[in-house]
Structure 1
């Protein structure tokens, strides 16, 4: 097993490995994609509702700064106004908060799906190991996180400088605009800057998403020995499967042998093949093959038939045809009706003769079998 642990993980993960990983909460995730989706959604909402939000904020401030004298000196009234101000402020930002929550829930569906696993949230003492923590910091994952953080800082800083230069004149001009117009204009500038800054993160997302998919697949890759062990666990060890098949065959053979004494006739080769047939005259169906075998099993069938006074009829072509064309507990094919009818007619004559102690009839000879049923043993 030491050699197995040194094998390189070069094989793609199996479906069972992927299912186990998903059950444990190990799926491809991109925090950058989730953050990008939330920022873009909130920025677009701010652009659409910025003016109305600004007007509502102005109304809220006017309302709170125009309190009457008796209200200012009444502690209970101040608490009522403060509560109402908090409610009004929450209603102003509620649309953005609601959209961000909805996007935060829906964004994971774009990569890996939405999965909740108790195993993933269960506390693990190994995560508190400082040695493993340092190893994670200096691992490939830690290096990728550092590169992404530096890229985001440089990207956002560069875009922010360009935006500040572009909107500098408008920002300075806000001071000479009316208050209502100034707040609405300011929110519009903020929304545009917010949207452009958020959109710039698409570069980080385009790098992070393929990397997360590749890294997730790399972690789940398997060695050849792991695949072999999984196949053994799934399908069972060869020796166990062979033993199960042997037991099943023995059980099926025992059930088959139990039907031989109930048969009406056994058609033999006479040495290599033996086929037991049963016919219910009260039913509308054809004769049914209840047992068949070759060599040793055929000998057992003949022995059981002889011990149970079941007639034996030697007809090599018919025995082979029945053996190869009919499964156990199935009716014989239509092409063999005539041949089997000759055998059953002989059997009924034989039973009648034995019951009345008459001379036994001559067994049928040269029973013809259609060419399509002619097969060599």
Structure 2
């Protein structure tokens, strides 16, 4: 019941990170029917292109044995081994090209679905792979039912096609008992090509459906709940509350450093309560006044309080204080458009100091 509820809660498509992690772990969509179908096509190609010549050679190799069985001595074990080696060599020459084509087609079908990837986790022993309960859940679960249905449909399709084909070849099979034995390989080859072609045509729909089903099942298995997406976002981007707290601490540290520099200011230009900008002017340090600190509301009041405590002049100029606050950042010199206004204030202060 809990498992069903868990599946129902996973309604969101998998994120790129989830898909990437699944691929890295070897969890990839794979159709078992595609390699089988490719092997069937490979067998058809082998029979149509190579088997005919190979069948003729096989018939010539076995002709002496069929024409004169008594001509082969079987008096000792060595004679038997010699006969078996000749039979095996002839059969190997016939089967080896076909087997190679089947292997190449099957591997190609697998590689076209997904590139090979070595994943250690896939070969590590796990109890779930040998657990009877896990095996029963796979057999009687949705995947097991789908696999059973595919196998049943494929078995019925192949059986019907093979039956219809063999019935159509019944007359030829009966007549084969009265023809030269050397012609039997050609007859068997022709019937085999027709049978494999019919089987390939009958199963192509099953293979196409299995490819789609494998992809849909894989995407469904990677679905995530909204909570999963939130947790992943926290892992990748960080917890928003923690990030906000860190940002607040960084701002507090920057503010404290800024306020610590106010005692080095030459003058503080302020709006009575809303804005305050602390400037330092030392020609030997900077060609223009430097902004040491600025603030609004409570920070502005704090800057004024520090300035008054340190005996630094506080000049109230509402337009200039607001303009400097908006235009200049801390640790930057004032722009040229403020030179005249600030120079008048500094000239007044220096003149009064004398």
Cα distance in structure 2, aligned partners of 1:291 and 1:184: 99
Distance change (3 Å), C-alpha of 1:42 and 1:239: same
Unaligned 5+ residue runs, structure 2?
none
Q: Report the alpha carbon displacement of residue 125 of structure 1 after superposing the two structures with TM.
A: 1.2
Residue pair 1:260, 1:305 contacting (<8 A) in 2 also: yes
- Structure 2 residue 138 is matched with structure 1 residue 139: no
Of the three residues 122, 125, 128, the one matched with 2:127 is 125
Cα distance in structure 1, aligned partners of 2:65 and 2:250: 86
Residue correspondence of structure 1 range 92-171 to structure 2 within 5 A: 93-108=95-110, 111=113, 114-169=116-171
Q: Report the alpha carbon displacement of residue 159 of structure 1 after superposing the two structures with TM.
A: 0.5
Cα distance in structure 2, aligned partners of 1:286 and 1:90: 95
Q: Report the alpha carbon displacement of residue 296 of structure 1 after superposing the two structures with TM.
A: 2.6
Q: Report the alpha carbon displacement of residue 110 of structure 1 after superposing the two structures with TM.
A: 5.1
Cα distance in structure 2, aligned partners of 1:192 and 1:297: 91
Cα distance in structure 2, aligned partners of 1:56 and 1:289: 98
Unaligned 5+ residue runs, structure 1?
362-377
The more displaced of 54-63 and 231-240 is 54-63
Residue 159 of structure 2 aligns to a residue whose secondary structure is helix
Q: What's the CA shift string for 1:144-182, capped at 9, x where partnerless?
A: 222222111111010101222344455566674683x75
RMSD over aligned CA atoms reads 4.6
Distance change (3 Å), C-alpha of 1:93 and 1:340: farther
Residue pair 1:47, 1:192 contacting (<8 A) in 2 also: no
Cα distance in structure 1, aligned partners of 2:332 and 2:246: 25
Q: How many residues align?
A: 344
TM-score normalised per structure 2? 0.73
Q: Report the alpha carbon displacement of residue 204 of structure 1 after superposing the two structures with TM.
A: 1.8
Residue pair 1:127, 1:133 contacting (<8 A) in 2 also: yes
Distance change (3 Å), C-alpha of 1:307 and 1:143: same
The more displaced of 167-176 and 201-210 is 167-176
Q: What's the CA shift string for 1:14-46, capped at 9, x where partnerless?
A: 314433433443333221223212322332243
Cα distance in structure 2, aligned partners of 1:341 and 1:127: 83
Distance change (3 Å), C-alpha of 1:286 and 1:220: farther
Q: What's the CA shift string for 1:29-84, capped at 9, x where partnerless?
A: 22122321232233224322222333454566579999x99xx99969x78x94x9
Residue 27 of structure 2 aligns to a residue whose secondary structure is coil
Distance change (3 Å), C-alpha of 1:248 and 1:110: farther
Cα distance in structure 2, aligned partners of 1:140 and 1:161: 31
Residue pair 2:12, 2:226 contacting (<8 A) in 1 also: no
The more displaced of 251-260 and 279-288 is 279-288
- Structure 2 residue 342 is matched with structure 1 residue 343: yes
Residue 8 of structure 2 aligns to a residue whose secondary structure is coil
Residue 293 of structure 1 aligns to a residue whose secondary structure is strand
Could you say which residue in structure 2 is the equivalent of 1:9? 9
Residue correspondence of structure 1 range 79-90 to structure 2 within 5 A: 82=85
Cα distance in structure 2, aligned partners of 1:38 and 1:283: 83
Cα distance in structure 2, aligned partners of 1:132 and 1:92: 44
Could you say which residue in structure 2 is the equivalent of 1:374? none
Distance change (3 Å), C-alpha of 1:342 and 1:165: same
Cα distance in structure 2, aligned partners of 1:169 and 1:328: 101
Q: Report the alpha carbon displacement of residue 191 of structure 1 after superposing the two structures with TM.
A: 2.9
Residue pair 1:171, 1:186 contacting (<8 A) in 2 also: no
